[in-house]
Amino acid sequence: EAGVVQSPRYKIIEKKQPVAFWCNPISGHNTLYWYLQNLGQGPELLIRYENEEAVDDSQLPKDRFSAERLKGVDSTLKIQPAELGDSAVYLCASSLEDGPSDEQFFGPGTRLTVL
Amino acid sequence: GNSVTQMEGPVTLSEEAFLTINCTYTATGYPSLFWYVQYPGEGLQLLLKATKADDKGSNKGFEATYRKETTSFHLEKGSVQVSDSAVYFCALFYSSASKIIFGSGTRLSIRP
């Protein structure tokens, strides 16, 4: 069974440029998460989807970040414009449902460097 | 608020040594507790979990016991291997917000 797929794995851009990350969750997983992981820190939730609905986007900086999950499958996270402080690893995860017994499966992440 | 504090790394041990990585938490109610592992170049993987007080999670020789009285969930392994070298994250899930809170991670390096 394929795991969570993310692309690109690495991205280097200049500040003020836009950037987008793509995630394909495990087939059949209804819940999809985007996390931000700063160097030396644990992941922090940005947004959580139940199917195509964003049910928790309280930590998403909406002035520059946006996300979508069309048809409740793949998801895209966008930053426009990027700032130096956005350099981090962006992780996507998915689970069958959302609860303590539902294991979240993580992708390898996209490492973003903003110059 | 809810938070997780874990032992700072890096931790360097020799093969076959005993491992303990400390983790304590602050939470309202009764969260579920997890240990995740991140091997070099890979995504986070669930290592073990415990959903209520006194539960012991175990996997791949690792163990952790949910201690409500000390709000702790320390990770232990009796004899580590080079292949255990990774970053380990302690985490809690609190139902009211349906959210996982991660600790800052502990990098473990095992010398042959």
Of the candidates B44, B100, B104, the beta carbon closest to that of A40 is on B104
In tens, the pLDDT along B22-43 reads: 999 999 888 999 999 999 888 8
Please report the pLDDT score of residue B99 as a whole number. Answer: 83
Question: How many whole angstroms separate alpha carbon B72 and alpha carbon A75?
Answer: 36
In tens, the pLDDT along A34-75 reads: 999 999 899 999 999 999 999 999 999 999 999 999 888 999
In tens, the pLDDT along B34-89 reads: 999 999 888 899 999 999 999 999 999 999 999 999 999 999 999 999 999 999 99
Share of chain B above pLDDT 90, in %: 80
One DSSP character per residue, B1-57 reads --EEEE--S-EEEETT--EEE-EEEE-SS--EEEEEEE-TTS--EEEEEE-STT-EE
Question: How many whole angstroms separate alpha carbon A1 and alpha carbon A14?
Answer: 37
Please report the pLDDT score of residue B42 as a whole number. Answer: 86
Of the candidates B31, B93, B104, the beta carbon closest to that of A42 is on B104
| pLDDT band of A1, cuts 50, 70, 90 | low
| pLDDT band of A100, cuts 50, 70, 90 | low
The distance from CA A37 to its chain's CA centroid, rounded to whole angstroms, is 10
Residues in A touching B23 (Cβ below 8 Å):
none
Chain A contact for B96 (CB, 8 A cutoff): no
Closest to B92 in 3D by CA, of B7, B35, B21: B35
